[in-house]
Amino acid sequence: MYSETQILKEASAGDIDGGELVINVGPQHPATHGVLHLVITLQGETIKKIEPHLGYIHRSIEKMCESLSYRQFIYVTSRMDYLSAHINNHACALCVEKGLQVEVPPRAKVIRVLMDELTRIASHELWLGAMAMDLGAFTPFFYAFREREAINEIMEETCGARLTMNYMVPGGVMFDLHPNFQKKVKAFITQFKKKVVEFDDLVTNNIIFQNRMKGIGVLSKEDAISYGCTGPVARASGVHCDIRKIYPYEIYDQLEFDEITESAGDSFARYMVRVREMHQSAKIIEQLIDNIPEGDYQAKTKAVLKLPKGEFYSRVETARGELGVYIVSEGGTTPYRIKFRSPGFSNLSALDHIARGGKIGDLMATMGTLDLVIPDIDR
């Protein structure tokens, strides 16, 4: 029998003698931002293979939803991609409305889009700070969080919560806007435009940052499509995949904004896509904030919702990519089966491909730009 020490010794000696070093990054690691576990095979500092191990935060949300009513299951989805909780809820609400054939009042539509875009900015701000921290720059994190805090305060005032708002209900939104909403959002947009220049000085144009990002983790257009990448990750490789443009929902077809794409497909392109997307979101908010139509914020729905027998699918563009909600209904008050197509899972699958051959430092940059939210991957 081997003692544990002997096994340890032999394991480490074998790894080093073979020239290959297997290290575990995570489940507790500062750069994985959650309980992602990557088993990395190294040759020196060069990455040979990455094997993600999932399931540390699997809560079987899909199964849970099967026992919840159509009003109840929406709140659970805030816990998947908690940084774009509004948009997740929005996708579920859209899917239920599709089944119920409810017409959402125009005011609710505008409120939903406003909240979605605010969430997108908040999510990208957090990503920007966290990614700069992955690269070793701590300070941008705090500047990014200051901007995000302004959005959180707006959310808190209107929705009553900061992170898991549960504001979207089938047929509209839960409350009307807070009277201060317009004033605060306008103040935020002004502040945002003024302060975003700091990130250019501090991060984007920094020579060290550019050298760390450019040409690292290149994902070609073909690979992006074959791995099923969506959102900013795919758009940085030149794939036109913005659901808001190609399958417009709510009032996105009436709004004026650009789909941001880059062609390089490297980490810097992914970075730039997200930074430019924040500006587009700000543009959308500016268009809508003075033109919120009057009227109901919620359509009249029955107390107990029953979807007709059939299958319903809706998709939205979250901050991370395409979120699909697929509901199979047997005609009862709870779904028969729910499937979420989460953007993080497919984006993670490209990690092994694009990080191979890079250094450990590159892995952190690449992983940072994939913008992984682990509960979104595990569900």
Partner 1 sequence: MFSLESITNAVQDWLNANFSPMWALIIQCAIVILLAMGLFATLGLVLVLMERKVAAHMQIRLGPNRVGPKGMFQTAADTLKLIMKEGLTPEGADKLLFNLAPFVVMIVSMLLLAPLAFSNGFQLWDLNIGVLFISAVSSVSVIGILMAGWASNNKYSLLGAMRSGAQIVSYELSAGLSIISIVVLAGSLQISDIINSQQDGWWIFKGHIPAIISFVIFIIAVTAETNRAPFDLAEAESELTAGFHTEYSGMKFALFFLAEYINIFIACAIGATLFLGGWMPLHIGHWQAFNHVMDYIPGVVWFFGKTFFLIFVIMWFRWTFPRLRIDQLLNLEWKYLLPISLFNLLLVTLIAIMGWHF
Partner 2 sequence: MAFIKQYISEVFGAVRSLWKGMRTTGRYFVRPKEIITQQYPDNRDTLVLPERFRGEVVMPHDENNEHACTGCTACELACPNGTIKIITKFDITPEGKKKKALDTFIYHLELCTMCNLCIEACPTDAIKMAKNFEHSVYDRSKLTKRLNKPGSKIREGIE
* Shortest Å, Cβ 289 to partner 2: 19
- From 2, 5, 263, 291, residue interacting with partner 1 (rule: CB under 8 A): 5
> Closest by alpha carbon to 362, among 371, 350, 354?
354
What's the residue count for the chain? 379
169 binds, among partner 1, partner 2, none (CB under 5 to 8 A by kind): partner 2
> Closest by alpha carbon to 368, among 196, 113, 141, 151?
141
Number of residues that bind partner 1 (CB under 8 A): 38
- Which of 21, 299 has the CB closer to partner 1? 21
178 binds, among partner 2, partner 1, none (CB under 5 to 8 A by kind): partner 2
Structural tokens at position 292: 């919120």
CA distances from 337 to 35, 309, 319 (A): 27, 12, 25
Distance of CA 155 to the CA centre of its chain: 18
Q: Does residue 134 contact residue 370 with C-beta atoms inside 8 Å?
A: no
Q: Would you say the C-alpha torsion 125, 86, 347, 275 has a positive or negative sign?
A: negative
212 binds, among partner 2, partner 1, none (CB under 5 to 8 A by kind): partner 1
* Residue 271 makes contact with partner 1 by CB under 8 A: no
- From 39, 54, 68, 137, residue interacting with partner 1 (rule: CB under 8 A): 137
Per-position x/- string for 95-134, each x denoting binding to partner 1 as judged by CB under 8 A, each - no binding: -------------------------------------xxx
Calpha distance 90→194 (Å, rounded)? 30
Piece of 93-101, 136-144, 233-241, 274-282 that binds partner 1 (CB under 8 A): 136-144
Structural tokens at position 197: 């220049």
- Which of 214, 221 has the CB closer to partner 2? 214
Piece of 163-171, 303-311, 338-346, 360-368 that binds partner 1 (CB under 8 A): 360-368
Calpha distance 9→17 (Å, rounded)? 12
Burial (CB < 10 A; 0-12, 13-18, 19+), residue 164, is middle
Positions touching partner 2 (CB under 8 A) are 68, 71-73, 75-76, 139, 146, 149, 156-161, 164, 166, 169, 174-175, 178, 198, 201-203, 205-208, 303
- From 84, 88, 206, 369, residue interacting with partner 1 (rule: CB under 8 A): 206
Hey, is 158 helix, strand or coil? Answer: helix
- From 30, 55, 160, 295, residue interacting with partner 1 (rule: CB under 8 A): 30
198 binds, among partner 2, partner 1, none (CB under 5 to 8 A by kind): partner 2
* Shortest Å, Cβ 174 to partner 2: 6
* Shortest Å, Cβ 157 to partner 1: 23
* Shortest Å, Cβ 60 to partner 2: 15
Q: Does residue 104 contact residue 297 with C-beta atoms inside 8 Å?
A: no
- From 12, 60, 180, 226, residue interacting with partner 1 (rule: CB under 8 A): 12
Q: Compute the half-sphere exposure of residue 194: CA atoms within 13 Å on the CB side of its CA.
A: 7
Piece of 48-56, 137-145, 158-166, 342-350 that binds partner 1 (CB under 8 A): 137-145
Contacts 24+ apart (CB under 8 A), 43-47: 43/19, 44/19, 45/359, 45/360, 46/357, 46/358, 46/359, 47/355, 47/356, 47/357, 47/358, 47/359, 47/360, 47/362, 47/363
* Residue 142 makes contact with partner 1 by CB under 8 A: yes
31 binds, among partner 1, partner 2, none (CB under 5 to 8 A by kind): partner 1
Calpha distance 101→121 (Å, rounded)? 31
- Which of 33, 86 has the CB closer to partner 1? 33
Piece of 61-69, 185-193, 204-212, 270-278 that binds partner 1 (CB under 8 A): 204-212
Q: Does residue 124 contact residue 274 with C-beta atoms inside 8 Å?
A: yes
* Residue 146 makes contact with partner 1 by CB under 8 A: yes
Per-position x/- string for 31-50, each x denoting binding to partner 1 as judged by CB under 8 A, each - no binding: x----------x--x-----
